[in-house]
Amino acid sequence: MSAPTDRSGITLQDKTALITGAGSGIGRAIAIRFARAGARVAVVDVSEDGGEETRRTIADSGGSVMRVTCDVVKQADVVAAFASVERAFGPADVLVTSAGVAHVGTIEQTTAEDLDRLYSVNVKGVFNCLKAAVATMKDRGGAILNIASVVSSIGVPDRFAYSMSKGAVVTMTYSVARDYVNHKIRCNCVSPGRIHTPFVDGFLAKSYPGREKEMFEQLARTQPIGRMGEPEEVAELALFLCSDAAAFITGSNYAIDGGFVSLKM
């Protein structure tokens, strides 16, 4: 893919970027944006259909892309995914861990099975990807970006298990950044507020049938800026943090939340 023509001037030209959860939502937006910035993009997702849709979107725009079906819960799958990407595009220069699942409920409404599911994907899945990325980036250099959440910083009603898992994502970010700062690996995370993704639409359809528009507007108003964010807005921040423009940034957690954390506390 040729050098990016957008006005940002930020490039990932000649970089190999592996993005988990790239079959939908924030992960998809990041994959598309990175490809437009010149990266060789590996679309990694457990969903073959979702991953293929993202791959096709990038390929149709002339991007360099491959799809890898991978369950991040399984370490062997993750190791195989990194190896497959390296054979096709060279070793990963960038990792974005966007694969994740959500859960709504207090501790009383959270079963042991719910907790195990959130831990398996949102914590162990990130661990598996970080472990593989460090192995390939150590001393060669690279950029890692984890997708956390505002719930890792403040208490949000009915998000017990989700908050637990995203808090772990932030602390894993700090640990990897500290341990590998002298090995040329940068590790940061972003903490989105409410972002308009398919999960939001599905949640509203299931929980408030017939009242989706009303409840969407109500949720949007909980962001001080007055609306939900868009996946493409998170992708712009991700692009900066994974590019050489952010070479002096590591071990940081960036809120992208319309003022939810700083303006409501």
Contact 11, 243 (CB under 8 A): yes
Q: Would residue 208 show up in a list of annotated catalytic residues for this protein? A: no
Report the DSSP beta bridge partners of residue 45: 69
Q: Which residues contact 103 (CB under 8 A, 6 or more apart)?
A: 110, 114, 117, 118, 159, 160, 161, 162
Contact 48, 72 (CB under 8 A): no
What's the one-letter identity of residue 168? A
- Which candidate, 142, 240, 128, places its Cα nearest to that of 187? 142
- For residue 20, what are its two tokens? 């988990």
Contact 30, 238 (CB under 8 A): yes
CA distance readout (Å), 149 to 101, 177, 250: 12, 18, 18
Rounded to an integer, what distance in angstroms lies between the CA atom of residue 74 and that of residue 21? 14
- Which candidate, 144, 10, 154, places its Cα nearest to that of 82? 144
- Which candidate, 171, 141, 146, places its Cα nearest to that of 247? 141
Catalytic-role residue among 119, 162, 180, 208: 162
Rounded to an integer, what distance in angstroms lies between the CA atom of residue 55 and that of residue 88? 15
- For residue 254, what are its two tokens? 């960036």
Residues tagged active-site: 162
